[in-house]
Amino acid sequence: MSSTISSSPQPSEPLDSTSSHPRSTGHAHHPDASKERFPPARAPATPELASLKIKIQQSLRQYPDFPTPGILFEDILPLFQDPELHESLVRALELHITTHYPKKQGKNPDIIVGLEARGFLFGPSLALRLGAGFVPVRKQGKLPGRTETAAYEKEYGQDFFQIQADAIKPGQKVLVIDDIIATGGSAAATGSLVKKLGGTLLGYVFILELDFLKGREKLDASVYTLLSSQEGPPKES
Ligand SMILES: O=P(O)(O)OC[C@H]1O[C@H](OP(=O)(O)OP(=O)(O)O)[C@H](O)[C@@H]1O
Ligand SMILES: Nc1ncnc2[nH]cnc12
Distances (CA, A) of 45 to 112, 180, 181: 22, 20, 21
**Tell me, what's the pLDDT at 18?**
38
Among protein residues, the one with the nearest Cα to ligand 2's atom 1 is: 73
Between CA 33 and CA 236 the distance in angstroms is: 26
The residue whose CA is least distant from atom 14 of ligand 1 is: 117
Overall residue count recorded for the chain in this entry: 237
Check residue 46 and give its pLDDT: 86
Q: Please tell me the number of the ligand nearest to residue 157's CA.
A: 1
For the range 103-108, what are the long-range contacts, defined as Cβ-Cβ under 8 Å and sequence gap of 24 or more?
A: 103/131, 107/173, 107/202, 108/132, 108/173
Going through the chain in order, the beta strands assigned E by DSSP cover 35-37, 61-64, 72-75, 111-115, 133-139, 147-154, 157-164, 173-181, 200-210, 222-229
Atom 15 of ligand 1, nearest CA residue: 117
Is 118 marked active-site?
A: yes
The domains of the chain, with CATH numbers, are 40-225 (3.40.50.2020)
pTM: 0.86
Q: Which of 74, 116, 155, 209 is catalytic?
A: 155
The Cα 170–Cα 200 span in angstroms is 8
pLDDT digits (tens, 9 = 90+) for 106-151: 999 999 999 999 999 999 999 999 999 999 999 999 999 999 999 9
Residues framing ligand 1 (Cβ under 6 A)? 115-118, 154-155, 178-187, 215
Residues of the chain with confidence (pLDDT) below 50 = 1-4, 17-34, 37-43, 233-237
